[in-house]
Each structure stands twice: as structure tokens, then as C-alpha cells.
């Protein structure tokens, strides 16, 4: 039964990523090119509204000293510094911090699975090229080419 569920989730993952958008940009100046910037944000209005509600709860969790699980990644404060580290090698709905929202669990499941998939992709690209990755409203992390986790992060769009 577990293998069937994993196979179904694996087949559905590409569709979930469509709820999220990954933007990649690089500045070109007279001195040459600058570091790559990767920005992960919801792709449509419904996703932005859901993310705004979730991210407020995530910020409160972090301020209170709790961790926020984002699928294969975990975000938390340690020694006053925000850290992003690997979390769940086999991503499933139990790997997420769910918001207390008036939204069906299946909707949050799909939304967060899509986030996890695109966050993995964005971190892989940023590790290859180096640069900054921002998850809209939650954190920003700067990676050097080939850098291994855990990563030091900074709050993005909020103060601890």
C-alpha cells in the first residue's frame, strides 16, 4: 500500500509544482556578472493568498522557537541564527508543518508538496551556480557553489 501511495505522489508532483514559480535572474554590470538570484513564490492569486496565511503562522512558529518543516527541508533558529537543513528524505504529508487554516487538508498537502519539490530544485540550482535563494516572505539563503547543507539563512520580509 505504501509503495502505491508513493508512486501516486511521485506521478502527481509535477502538477503540484505549477502552483509555485521559480524565477532565476542575474545582473550584468560593467564589472561583470553578479551572483544568481533565485526566488520561489506562489504562481497564482489563490496560492499567494494561501501562502500569506501560512507564512504568518510559520513566522510565529519560528519566533516562538519552533521549527518549520517544508518537506525535505527544515527551518529553525539555533543560537539566534536561522538554519535551513535537510529534513525528510522521502517527502510525504507528514513532513510538513501545516497551518491552522480553513482550507481542506488535501489542498494544503498539494500546495506544500509543490513547494517542497521546487525548493529542492531551486537549492540544487543555487548549489551549482552559487547565489541567493529567497522563499517569498520566509527566508533568504546565500550559497556558494558546491556548498553542502546546513545553510545559514536570514528572515525575508519579517523580523524575528
Classify residue 98: in a domain, yes or no. Answer: yes
14-29 tens-digit pLDDT? 444 468 999 999 876 6
Predicted confidence (pLDDT) at residue 70 exceeds the cutoff of 90? yes
Classify residue 32: in a domain, yes or no. Answer: yes
Predicted confidence (pLDDT) at residue 34 exceeds the cutoff of 90? no
**In this structure, what DSSP letter does residue 148 have?**
P
Interhelix angle 105-129/45-63, rounded to 10 degrees, is: 80
Classify residue 28: in a domain, yes or no. Answer: yes
Dist. CA 146–CA 51, nearest whole Å: 30
Predicted confidence (pLDDT) at residue 41 exceeds the cutoff of 90? yes
Query: What is the span of the domain harbouring residue 119?
Result: 2-155
Range scoring the smallest mean pLDDT among 14-18, 145-149, 151-155: 14-18
Classify residue 80: in a domain, yes or no. Answer: yes
Dist. CA 105–CA 158, nearest whole Å: 26
Q: What is the pLDDT of residue 79?
A: 92
Predicted confidence (pLDDT) at residue 6 exceeds the cutoff of 70? no
Classify residue 133: in a domain, yes or no. Answer: yes
Dist. CA 16–CA 25, nearest whole Å: 23
Provide the mean pLDDT of the chain: 86
Which of 136, 29, 139 is CA-nearest to residue 84?
Answer: 139
Predicted confidence (pLDDT) at residue 132 exceeds the cutoff of 50? yes
Predicted confidence (pLDDT) at residue 31 exceeds the cutoff of 70? no
Residue with cell 521549527: 67
DSSP secondary structure letters along 63-100: HTT--EEBSSEEEEEETTEEEEEE--SS--GGGB----
What grid cell was written down for 109? Answer: 498537502
Classify residue 160: in a domain, yes or no. Answer: no
Classify residue 56: in a domain, yes or no. Answer: yes
Predicted confidence (pLDDT) at residue 3 exceeds the cutoff of 50? no
Per the structure, the count of domains in the chain is 1
Q: What number is the average pLDDT over the span 28-48?
A: 84
112-126 tens-digit pLDDT? 999 999 999 999 999
Give the number of other Cβ atoms within 10 Å of residue 73's Cβ. 24
Q: What is the pLDDT of residue 113?
A: 95
Predicted confidence (pLDDT) at residue 84 exceeds the cutoff of 70? yes
Percent of the residues in the chain that have a pLDDT greater than 70, as a whole number: 85
Dist. CA 34–CA 140, nearest whole Å: 17
Amino acid at each position: 500500500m505504501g509503495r502505491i501511495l508513493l508512486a501516486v505522489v511521485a506521478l502527481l508532483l509535477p502538477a503540484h509544482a505549477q502552483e509555485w514559480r521559480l524565477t532565476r535572474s542575474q545582473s550584468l554590470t560593467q564589472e561583470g556578472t553578479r551572483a544568481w538570484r533565485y526566488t520561489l513564490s506562489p504562481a497564482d492569486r489563490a496560492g499567494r493568498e494561501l501562502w500569506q496565511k501560512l507564512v504568518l503562522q510559520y513566522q510565529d512558529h519560528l519566533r516562538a522557537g519552533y521549527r518549520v518543516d517544508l518537506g525535505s527541508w527544515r527551518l529553525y533558529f539555533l543560537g539566534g541564527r536561522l538554519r535551513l537543513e535537510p529534513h525528510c528524505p522521502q517527502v510525504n504529508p507528514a513532513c510538513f508543518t501545516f497551518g491552522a487554516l480553513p482550507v481542506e487538508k488535501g489542498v494544503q498537502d498539494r500546495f506544500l508538496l509543490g513547494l517542497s519539490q521546487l525548493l529542492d530544485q531551486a537549492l540544487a540550482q543555487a548549489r551549482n551556480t552559487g547565489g541567493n535563494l529567497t522563499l517569498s516572505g520566509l527566508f533568504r539563503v546565500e550559497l556558494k557553489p558546491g556548498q553542502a547543507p546546513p545553510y545559514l539563512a536570514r528572515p525575508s520580509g519579517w523580523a524575528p
